Chain A
Amino acid sequence: MQILRILFLRLLTTLVTLAGVAVIVFFVIRVVPGNPIAMMLPPGATEADVARLSALYGLDKPLPTQFGIWVAGVMQGDFGTSITTRQPVLQLVLSRLPATLELSIMALVMAVILGGIAALVGTRRRGTGTEGAIDIANGMALSVPDFLWGLILILVFGVLVPVFHISGRVTPSLDLPFTTNFYLFESLLRLRFDLWADIVSHMFMPALALAIPLAAIIGQLLKQSLKETMNLDYVTLARTKGYGETRVILREALRNAALPTLTLVGVQFTFLIGGTVIIERLFSYEGLGNMAIDAVINRDLPLIQGIVILFAVIFVAVNMIVDLLYAVLNPRLRHA
């Protein structure tokens, strides 16, 4: 019952959040300087040309009327047509969403692995030079922003030891048999490991650039939790039974210590998706973030609205999943 109540409340707040986002994004992007008609006016255009193009793109109507038209369309699944690409916005953003989700999930997996290893090794070797080295590495990983990690990775693995692809999502010359845009997952399902390797080779650097700062956060928090857990009675009991230190950490302490980290991972995952905007641009990765930057540069208002709404949906969905997971995993909530 507790979980159902949480779910209901979250769904309710989600709808309010999305409505708020829709209002804010619609009006804010129309208030800031720079409109799409001014962007496409060639030298020599007259006031009549401005009026003609404004009418053509529906920008000549009062803002509340434009908002009403847009909301009515959204209710029917029509997010409008992109001004620059002349394609339906929903089709565009949904076609790019899988790329961003795959990149984000890969980055999250990398971050959990790297952060987890750092925390486990740091706990196992606590009080030694190894723990100090891990702490220093964590500090460095946190203090350098993801786009700078991206540039460093490009220099190291793209130029000096060119083992990974610098740009794109897949080698253009490859024939892709996919029916969805989830290339990474579909290549695995189709057992096309050649394509999988190519996709991973393209995704490795952007995912790692996104993962490094998150890995540092996970590493720090998990190590701290593990250290606290290692002083609890049940862990001492395990030691007295003669279990080795590694087994005590992995089998006894880790499960309890991981709970606060899980909440953090959920929250950080939404930030990680936000971080894809810059990283996708840097690596020319064909995801939502890359598209978002083009949309902003070109003042493609319908596309900006569509992308922001989709990002908002992802954010609230992830937060909701984390809340539910927490409720499921936390015995106090589960049995309440």
Chain B
Amino acid sequence: MKLNRRSLLKLSAATMAAGTIGLPAFAQQIDELVIAYNVNLPSWDPTVGPSAVNPTIQGIYQSVFDQYILQQPDLKPAPGLLTEWGWNDDKTQIWMTVRDGVTWHDGSPFTAEDVAWNLARVANPETGSPIQFVWGTLANHRVEGNKVIADVVQFDPTIFKWMYFLTGYVLPKAYYEKVGAEGFEAAPIGTGPYMVEKFERNAFVRLKANANYWGGKPDFDTVTIKFVPDAAARVAEVESGNSHVTLEMPYEEYDRLKGGPLAGIATPISDIGMIFLNDIEAMTDPNVRKAAAHAIDKQAIIDRLLSGYGVKIDTLETPEYDAYDPSITVEYSPEKAVELLAASGYSVDNPVKFKIQTTKGFKPKDYEMMQAIVGLWRKVGIEAEIEVYEIAKHYELRAADQLAPAAFYNWGNSVGDPTTSTGFAMFGPSPHSVWDGKDLIDMIGPLWGEKDEAKRIDGWKAVDKYIAENALVIPLLQYVQPILYAPGVVVTPHASGALLPHLMKRA
């Protein structure tokens, strides 16, 4: 073939036309729902390995697998694969009633045996569950009809909450034993609302609706979840009509698009932003800690840096959590901060100095928030030097109790129990706490095993009050999750932050 200018133009036009094949459009009715998701899915086993404790991929897991107990969009539990559950009178055993009529994606029946096998599997240290320390508090799992009973080795008041939290998923006993771990990775099945049809690692997962789902067949027969980690590419995906739903984009982009061809919803989720205070150097001085807390204008930071998308918090509990107490507040008062610092001999001319560590780009405007806070601190007599680190370094430093005197972090607690927020973040012996004060350890210690629920929650509220009064940590804000979606779909957000296709309906 002779290639001249005309034939070259024809070839270009043909290539461009070919390129448009398969591009979805806004106005068309949605046959196949396409979601641009913000993270990749590394593994299909939601009970072991790092993926099991990665909060951002729980939405995908919950599309395919059911948890023992269903968690509703407001974080409250509801009957799921377990219809009833509880402890015996002296709390030495737990019992669970298993739902009848549920089938696995391969058509085989789901039974109480599956539940008992799963609980025993994750309790076994050799399985490698990161949450083994919780599941290991139960032993001797046994089946009696459609009930599962287990002995309580060590009483944990949150055990049923873990049944709708990280690793609290039910996998198919017979199928798993037949295909093994590798076979399960290649072809996972669950009892969830969607079945895995096709999975390309780092690219997409294509799901088919489970017509036999015990909660009712989902609205969309086919859902494709594309893994698009780059925020700009995700925005372009929905703006171009390539995807119908996406989440976690810059708030400015959300504001720009939500009133145009796309709809948007932004609701608070269970993630919070906070500053860990390590009881070293300047942070051993209560006046410095309290001044640092009083000098931060949280609302101004939310309004100016996060376009208003955030909820100011003064404890590690958000309004949806069980131990939230609105009466505990830490006022913004630069005057009080100056006064407190003066009592310790510090001033603007003679500032107290310490380091603050932060991630940059891990959470929305994390570094910018720390810059703003350092600016506010400077005005009252605190000179903080910012050190940027990767999130992996944060985990390692925190586990080794080597964080700087101040360190920004985000904390997720989608079950809303005070144990998994204030408890793990502030209890000295925990590798996740850097505050080692004995007074706090003594306050928290008895609450781990408190059997009276009302007394337990009151106890945590008292702990939160003590922490706020003594500025042992600086809670900043509850994050708001922005979701953009095409006109043909209605999205129901989940306060855990999980984006769940089966909660999406046709408009």
Which residues of A does B touch, CB under 8 Å? Answer: 33-36, 38-50, 52-53, 56, 82-87, 92, 95-96, 151, 154-155, 158-159, 162-169, 171-174, 194, 197-198, 200-201, 204, 281-284, 286-287, 290-291, 293-294, 297-299
Top-8 shortest CB links A-B? A34-B392, A43-B424, A197-B18, A201-B19, A33-B393, A38-B395, A286-B203, A84-B42
| Bound-complex Cα distance A64 to B226 (A) | 41
Complex CA–CA separation, A45 to B203 (angstroms):
32
A-B contact number at CB 8 A: 204
Contacts A43-B430, A84-B49: A201 and B202 contacting too (C-beta < 8 A)?
no
When A33-B393, A84-B49 are in contact, do A45 and B22 touch as well, CB less than 8 Å?
A: no
Bitwise interface map of B from 29 to 40 toward A, beta carbon under 8 Å scored 1, else 0:
000100010001
Q: Mark B409-441, 1 if CB is under 8 A from A, else 0.
A: 001000000011001110001111000000000
Residue of A nearest to B167 (CB): A42
In the assembled complex, the CB of A52 is this many whole angstroms from the nearest CB of chain B, namely 6
Interface pair A151/B232, CB less than 8 Å apart: yes
Does the CB pair A284–B228 fall under 8 Å?
Answer: yes
Is the Cβ of B242 less than 8 Å from the Cβ of A33? no
Inter-subunit contact B132/A52 (CB<8 Å): yes
CA A297 to CA B204, docked complex, whole Å: 19
B399 partner, pick from A44, A50, A201, A293, beta carbons under 8 A = A50
Pick the residue among B40, B53, B125, B396 that contacts A35 (CB under 8 A). B396
Query: Which partner residue on chain A sits nearest B423 by CB separation?
Result: A44
Within 8 Å CB of B185, what residues of A? 85-87
Contact B50 A42 (CB under 8 A): no
Inter-chain CA distance A46–B345, complex, in Å, is 39
Q: How far is the CA of A36 from the CA of B54 in the complex (A)?
A: 13
Total contacting residues, chain B, CB less than 8 A: 74
Please determine whether A86 and B230 come into contact, CB atoms closer than 8 angstroms.
Answer: no
What are 7 A-B residue pairs whose CB atoms fall within 8 Å in the complex? Answer: A34-B393, A86-B182, A95-B201, A169-B203, A173-B222, A198-B21, A200-B18
Q: When chains A and B are docked, how far (Å) is the Cα of A74 from the Cα of B131?
A: 32
Considering the complex, which residues of chain B in the window 214-254 have a beta carbon less than 8 Å from any beta carbon of chain A?
Answer: 222, 224, 226-230, 232-233, 236-237, 239-242
Within 8 A of A (CB), among B1-40: 15-16, 18-23, 32, 36, 40
List chain B residues, Cβ under 8 A from A44.
133-134, 419-420, 423-424, 430, 432
Instruction: Give 11 new A-B contacts, CB below 8 A, not counting A38-B396, A41-B399.
Output: A40-B130, A43-B430, A44-B133, A44-B134, A86-B182, A96-B202, A154-B232, A167-B228, A198-B18, A282-B230, A286-B203
Contact A165 B432 (CB under 8 A): no
From B23, B131, B185, name the one whose CB has the most chain A CB atoms within 10 angstroms: B23
A204, B125: Cβ atoms closer than 8 Å = no
A173-B206, A282-B233 as given contacts; A49 in contact with B132, CB under 8 Å? yes
User: Is the Cβ of A50 less than 8 Å from the Cβ of B130?
Assistant: no
B45 at the interface (CB under 8 A from A): yes
